[in-house]
Amino acid sequence: MFAPAYFDANATTPLDARVLDAMLPYLGARFGNASSRHEYGRQARAAIDTARQQVAVAVGAHPTELVFTSGGSEANNLFIKGAAASRKPGVMAIGATEHPCVRLPALHVQQHGWRVVQLMPDADGQVNVDAAVALIVQDRPAVVSVMLANNETGAINDIAPIAAATRQAGGWFHTDAVQALGKMPVDFRGLGVHAMTLSSHKIYGPIGAGALVMDKRVDVPALIAGGGQERGLRAGTENLAAIVGFGVAAELAVAEMSERTARQRAARDVFENGLGAIGAQVFGAAADRLPNTSFFAFEHIDGETLVAKLDRAGFAVASGSACSSADAEPSRTLLAMGVEPGLARGAVRVSMPHDVELNDVDRLLRALKQTVDELKHLAAVAI
């Protein structure tokens, strides 16, 4: 069976064998509905309570502040749409480099009288803190959302002072921390945010589980109404096995973070040194970044073409956010950073898994050089 070397961990991660082992009983004999009053239901409820504790501890929150969802997209929608429904229409501020599952719900609430403004990044992809604070002081947005770490560039935003300014202005501050968990310390209380989004399948847990961590003083309506689960904020029988897996994955992500990130950072440094030698431009290279992420381009080389050729050569990489892969437009993140559209169309993302092998990095670099040389030759012949 053809098995390419995997360099797309920011899109999703493989399920950790230990996580799968923890999930298996809940895919078999322990199949109860956590809302049931009998022993099967009590077992399910206890398992969910344990997972809630595990995920909450991983981000320095209290278990009662955590609402399980189907993933990061639902959690972001729950907060953005819920906050807009709870508060008097006014200004909503979002980072210009947000994931579509923040940007699109924000655009949606404009239909209900909200004015959406963007907090712009600097040339390295980090939201400009001084400009963001100045806007918050002036416009006093009721809702602000800025991601903790960008899914494309890996740039880490300094959100604590922006969250503090938002609180002082009477607003609610939310951060999408989906990419951050497991790759850097994440402290819900220490960051001073009102709400935070997490996802299981980015930390070697199962697809189908996520969470919104939310200060209990923040009151939003349910996005999915019905059975009253998750404090009445997320109706529907819980995805028991996935939630159990999420809890174990979160616990492992924190316990093993130092070892994992050291390996990723070493591999990324080798990779980016090699990129420089073959003429690539790395976006956000001067920023504080996630240890596993490289977003780069070559002049006059189309990113989608490069991704496809690398796939055929046995390497799984991406041209940006997996959720935006059907969009042929240049990366919104890069355009917001001031990158020229032609170069932005050439962007390719490599995101290292935690068990990355340097041998695979070396092979990827050789394949990149060969492919780029071939594409440049074809372009020269065409001229």
CATH number at residue 250: 3.40.640.10
Residues 38, 178, single domain; the answer is yes
Mean pLDDT in order along the chain per 10 residues (383 residues) = 84 98 97 96 97 98 98 98 97 98 97 97 97 98 98 98 98 98 98 98 98 96 92 95 98 98 98 97 97 97 96 93 60 97 97 98 97 84 59
Which pLDDT does position 320 carry in this prediction? 65
Residues 80, 202, single domain; the answer is yes
Q: Where are the beta strands (DSSP E) in the chain?
A: 5-6, 66-69, 91-95, 115-119, 143-145, 172-176, 195-199, 210-214, 281-282, 293-297, 315-316, 348-351
Residue 228's domain spans which residues? 17-254
Residues 145, 68, single domain; the answer is yes
Residues 195, 53, single domain; the answer is yes
Q: What's the token pair of residue 69?
A: 């969802």
Which pLDDT does position 327 carry in this prediction? 56
Residues 232, 171, single domain; the answer is yes
Residues 283, 243, single domain; the answer is no
Which pLDDT does position 138 carry in this prediction? 97
Kind and range of the H or E run holding 358: helix 358-382
Phi, psi torsion values for 12, nearest 5 degrees: -165, 165
Which pLDDT does position 3 carry in this prediction? 67
Residues 276, 364, single domain; the answer is yes
* CATH number assigned to the domain comprising residue 362: 3.90.1150.10
Q: Please state, in angstroms and rounded to a whole number, the distance separating the CA atoms of residues 297 and 275.
A: 9
Residues 35, 156, single domain; the answer is yes
Bridge partners, residue 6, by sequence? 316
Bridge partners, residue 197, by sequence? 176, 212
Query: Which amino acid does the sequence have at 255?
Result: A
Residues 375, 276, single domain; the answer is yes
Domain count along the chain: 2
Which pLDDT does position 326 carry in this prediction? 54
Residues 225, 280, single domain; the answer is no
Among 254, 272, 304, the domain boundary falls at 254
Among 254, 271, 294, the domain boundary falls at 254
Residues 237, 311, single domain; the answer is no
Q: Where are the beta strands (DSSP E) in 42-189?
A: 66-69, 91-95, 115-119, 143-145, 172-176
Q: What's the token pair of residue 281?
A: 């431009």
Q: Please state, in angstroms and rounded to a whole number, the distance separating the CA atoms of residues 52 and 46.
A: 10
Residues 83, 183, single domain; the answer is yes
Nearest to 289 by CA among 178, 174, 152, 94: 152
With a CB cutoff of 8 Å and minimum separation 6, the contacts of 186 are: 58, 59, 60, 148, 177, 180, 196
| Residues annotated as part of the active site | 323
Among 254, 273, 298, the domain boundary falls at 254
Q: Taking each helix axis from N to C terminus, what angle separates 257-277 and 358-382, rounded to the nearest 10 degrees?
A: 30
